[in-house]
Amino acid sequence: MHNDILKVLVSEEELQNKIKELGNQITEDYKDKNLLLVSVLKGSVVFMADLMRAINLKCRIDFMSVSSYGSGTKTSGTVKIIKDLDIDIRGYDLLIVEDILDSGMTLSYIKKILMDREPKSIKICTLLDKPERRQVEDIKADYKGFIIPDEFVVGYGLDYDEMYRNVSYIGALKPEVYNK
Ligand code: IMP
Ligand code: MG
């Protein structure tokens, strides 16, 4: 598995340090709020698992799953709800936890449908941000881990064709892996 990785972009240690920072900031910002962490499956599960334990507050978690990509590395332009939230979000301060903000289409869509359900507030926390790839201009992350260049990355929850999610750092794949 590690043989398919060309280079490490964000190491395990850098990830853990950044998550501590984000957790402290969120703990401070949400101390008088009714926090509900919403993880967007599957890419954000690893980030979610670490981030929620870095937040020192009573809070709730929920999951939703949408699909915007097939097995390739480019957006298909359509977003579909595969699994909706279990919790009625009215009155909650939502923090959407995402793996990566790329074109922005997924988050823009999720934010819009969740807004219609009248939560008290919605903010976005993304581990990675690829600003060069943005197509939806009005979507911004309130909390972000790392800004990365326009390169397809895997690991720490992120996949290529559903693989490499269990790699514990963020890395770029060797080109020959895509061309197999
Ligand atoms: P967006 O709708 O283009 O912003 O895409 C967001 C989703 O695309 C993320 O939640 C990821 O699942 C996927 N994605 C975008 N860039 C990458 C990448 O570099 N590696 C793996 N998945 C990616
Ligand atoms: Mg994905």
**Per-residue confidence in pLDDT tens, the chain, 180 aa:** 999 999 999 999 999 999 999 999 999 999 999 999 999 999 999 999 999 999 999 999 999 998 765 555 555 556 788 999 999 999 999 999 999 999 898 899 899 999 999 999 999 999 999 999 888 888 999 999 999 999 999 999 999 999 999 999 999 999 899 887
Tokens of 19: 């998550």
Relative to the CA of 101, which ligand 1 atom is closest?
A: 4
Question: Hey, what long-range contacts does 22-29 have (CB within 8 A, 24 or more apart)?
Answer: 22/51, 22/54, 22/125, 22/143, 22/145, 23/51, 23/53, 23/54, 23/55, 23/56, 24/54, 25/143, 26/51, 26/54, 26/55, 26/57, 26/95, 26/125, 26/143, 27/54, 27/55, 27/56, 27/57
**pLDDT at site 67:** 79
Quote the ligand 2 centre to 171 CA distance (angstroms): 15
Question: Strand locations in the chain, DSSP E?
Answer: 5-10, 35-41, 60-67, 80-83, 93-101, 121-129, 143-147, 153-154, 170-173
Q: Find the residues whose C-beta lies inside 6 A of ligand 1.
A: 43, 68-69, 75, 98-107, 152-154, 158-159
SS3 of 162, please?
A: coil
The H helix count followed by the E strand count for the chain is 4, 9
What pLDDT is stored for residue 77 in this prediction? 58
Q: What is the DSSP letter of 103?
A: S
DSSP 145: E
Tell me which residues are annotated as active site.
102
Domains of the chain: 17-148 (3.40.50.2020)
Instruction: Work out which ligand 1 atom sits closest to the CA atom of 109.
Output: 2
If you measure from the C-alpha of residue 109 to the centroid of ligand 2, how many angstroms do you get, rounded to a whole number?
A: 15
